Amino acid sequence: MAGFPKLAPEYEIVVVGGGHAGLQAGLKAALLEHTAVVLSRGPKYGRSYYAPRMDNIPGFPDAISGHNLLDLQVRALARWPEKVAYITPARVLSARRGAEGFEVELEWLARRHTVRGKALILAMGVVDRIPVVGGSIKPIFPWANLAIVDFCVFCDGHDLPGRSVGVLGDDAFAAHVALDLRHFKPSSLELLTNGRPFLEASTPEERSTLLAELEGAKIGVHSGEIVGFDGIREKRWTVKFADGSERSYDRGFSGLGWYTMNDEIPRSLGARFDPEGYVMTDSDSRVLSAESGAPIPGLYCVGDLASGWNQIPEAWATAERAVIHAYAEYL
C-alpha cells in the first residue's frame, strides 16, 4: 500500500491484530463488500514471524516461512484499499461496547485515535515466553530463527524423530511438554530448568506423579543456570552453564508457555475464558459472555487468542467464520 492509509472514524468491522487471523478477517470483510480496518502492531510481532519453515500450510508443498506468508497475506489485503484499511504500526489500547457497536482506542503515528465498528474482531494472538539468558531474551533468537530451537509441538514435533532434545522449563507445563514430545520418538529428552527449582509451584501430589512419570520415561532434569549457547555452525544447540559445563542437543524445545495471553481487552468486554486462559467462543467465533455464557452481539475472537489449537489454518478458518457470521447477522 503506497503511503499512509487514511483512518476513517467508522467501519463496519474493526479487527484488532494483523497476524494470520486478523489479515484473513480483513480480506474476507473486503470480499464480502464490507468496510473494515485492521489495526496491527505489525507482522514482526506475530507468533510466526520467526518461524523459518512451516510444513502444514495448504498450497505450499515445499513449506513457507512465517514472514513470507504474512507478506503474502498483507499483499492480498492491499488489493482492496477501497474496502479495508491496514493501519500499522498501531497499538490498540482499549475497546468499549456501546449502543451502536464498539469504540476502539488506538495509538498510531504517535497520536491517539478512536474508531467505531458495528462488529469487533479480536485477533491479538498470544505471546511466547522467551528464555532469559544473561538478562536478555536475545541469545536464543539465532537458534530459533534456524528452527534448531522450536516453540510449537504441533508445528515442529515432526522434526524430532531420532534426535536428542533439550526442553526448556521448570514447571509442570514444561514437564508435560517433555512427556508429550515422546510421541515423536526423539532419541533422548532432557529438561533444563535454567537455575530454577524444578516443580516449585506444584502440589506435593503433582510433583511426585510427574517425577515418577519422567523417571519412567528416562527424562532427566538438569538445573544448571544457562549463560549462553553455541554450536550454530554444526546446527546443534549447545547449552553453556554457569559452572563452565556444556550439554549439546540436536534440537531445543521451549516448555516455557506464554508471556502474555493478551487478555486485557477481552476481559474488559466481558469475555469468558477457558481454564488455560483462552477466550471462549462458539462455532461462529462469537465471544461468549463471562456472565451468561451467551454470545456477546457483534464481538468475535479468532486465531490463537481463541480457545483452540494455535495453528494457522485454524486462525484462517476462525476468521472466515467470524466475518461470514457478521455479514449474515449484523451488517
148 binds ligand FAD (CB under 6 A): no
Task: Return the range that interacts with ligand FAD (CB under 6 A); candidates 35-43, 132-140, 191-199, 291-299.
Answer: 35-43
Task: Return the range that interacts with ligand FAD (CB under 6 A); candidates 123-131, 204-212, 224-232, 286-294.
Answer: 123-131
85 binds ligand FAD (CB under 6 A): no
How many amino acids of this chain bind ligand FAD (CB under 6 A)?
Answer: 38
Task: Return the range that interacts with ligand FAD (CB under 6 A); candidates 39-47, 111-119, 223-231, 320-328.
Answer: 39-47
Among 32, 76, 152, 290, binds ligand FAD (CB under 6 A): 152
Are residues 317 and 161 in contact, defined by beta-carbon separation less than 8 angstroms?
A: no
Among 189, 239, 312, 322, binds ligand FAD (CB under 6 A): 312
| Residue closest to ligand FAD (Cβ) | 19
119 binds ligand FAD (CB under 6 A): no
128 binds ligand FAD (CB under 6 A): yes
Tell me how far CA of residue 32 lies from CA of 83, 243, 322, 326, in angstroms.
Answer: 10, 61, 12, 10
Task: Return the range that interacts with ligand FAD (CB under 6 A); candidates 149-157, 162-170, 194-202, 218-226.
Answer: 149-157
CA 256 – CA 172 distance, rounded (Å): 10
153 binds ligand FAD (CB under 6 A): no
Among 35, 194, 238, 262, binds ligand FAD (CB under 6 A): 262
269 binds ligand FAD (CB under 6 A): no
Q: Cis peptide leading into 89, omega within 30 of 0?
A: yes
87 binds ligand FAD (CB under 6 A): no
Other CB atoms within 10 A of residue 35 CB: 19
Per CB under 6 A, residues contacting ligand FAD are 16-22, 39-41, 45-48, 50-51, 54-56, 90-92, 123-125, 128, 151-152, 155, 262, 303-305, 310-313, 315
